Structure 1
């Protein structure tokens, strides 16, 4: 998916300077104890479904949109899992970015996973006991989504 217009408009004003954005991450869990993952086109790694919140968009609505856009799966948001400020990063073109990420536990309601945009090379359900190489952060998101408590995880220091 191309860079959202609102980001391009901001970049026209601030150049490559650090841009603070609202990120969204989905832990989509089905009834077969599997999690929905995408294999990213930019680095070839398997990953949780993630995206950027559009201006004025509600987080749960934006995440449902991202899941459908990337995987063709329609899902519902069950609960907020975590709120986390991610470390600053940069893109190959020099753009600096930092995300405040909202991670949600979601459940699929219809649709079979498939590559549905140019951001992914593959999309599929993975058994929770046989996951591919994921980042520590993604594994923590999955662990927190599986916890029985409804309270989201967040840093206090």
Structure 2
């Protein structure tokens, strides 16, 4: 994911220290029940679509924007499926971030799946029983989006 300008400005004064950031993941299904995935340029791996909200941007709007920017697909968010604080991550340049991810189940309503930015190597629809190799992050989110149960969150409370 490209680093948003507001984070580059923060890094000018924060250096490499840990930044607590919002993140949004969009699990997009088409009318056939297939899931939309992008092959990330930075890792070469397939994953769900996602990104960082702009300051003041609502998570649902972020999902719609990121899906369109990365894949050319128009979508409508349907529900929150997961809220999770991720483990801190250090990028190759030394920047450290920890994301609070909000995952939304979305329905495709138009457009055509294609590489639509410089962050992706490939974009495709996959049948649930024919998913490519995915990291646990993506598999967990797809599984939760398929479940019609309540939003998942870590129920751990305090010390």
TM-score (norm 1): 0.97
**CA distance in 2: counterparts of 1:90 and 1:66, whole angstroms:** 23
Q: Which runs of 4+ in 1 moved over 4 A?
A: none
How many residue pairs were aligned? Answer: 156
**CA distance in 2: counterparts of 1:50 and 1:25, whole angstroms:** 4
Instruction: Structure 1 unaligned segments of length 5 or more: list them.
Output: none
**CA distance in 1: counterparts of 2:33 and 2:129, whole angstroms:** 9
Is 1:80 the counterpart of 2:80 in the alignment? yes
Is 1:26 the counterpart of 2:32 in the alignment? no
Where do residues 1-157 of structure 1 align in structure 2 (5 Å cutoff)? Answer: 2-149=2-149, 151-157=150-156
The Cα shift of 1:141 comes to: 0.9
Cα-to-partner distance string for 1:73-93 (whole Å, 9 max, x where unaligned): 000000000000000001111
Q: CA RMSD in A?
A: 0.9
The Cα shift of 1:137 comes to: 2.3
SS in structure 2 of the partner of residue 55 of structure 1: coil
Cα-to-partner distance string for 1:94-138 (whole Å, 9 max, x where unaligned): 100110000000000001100011100000101100101111221
Instruction: Structure 2 unaligned segments of length 5 or more: list them.
Output: none
SS in structure 1 of the partner of residue 130 of structure 2: coil
The Cα shift of 1:2 comes to: 3.8
The Cα shift of 1:60 comes to: 0.2
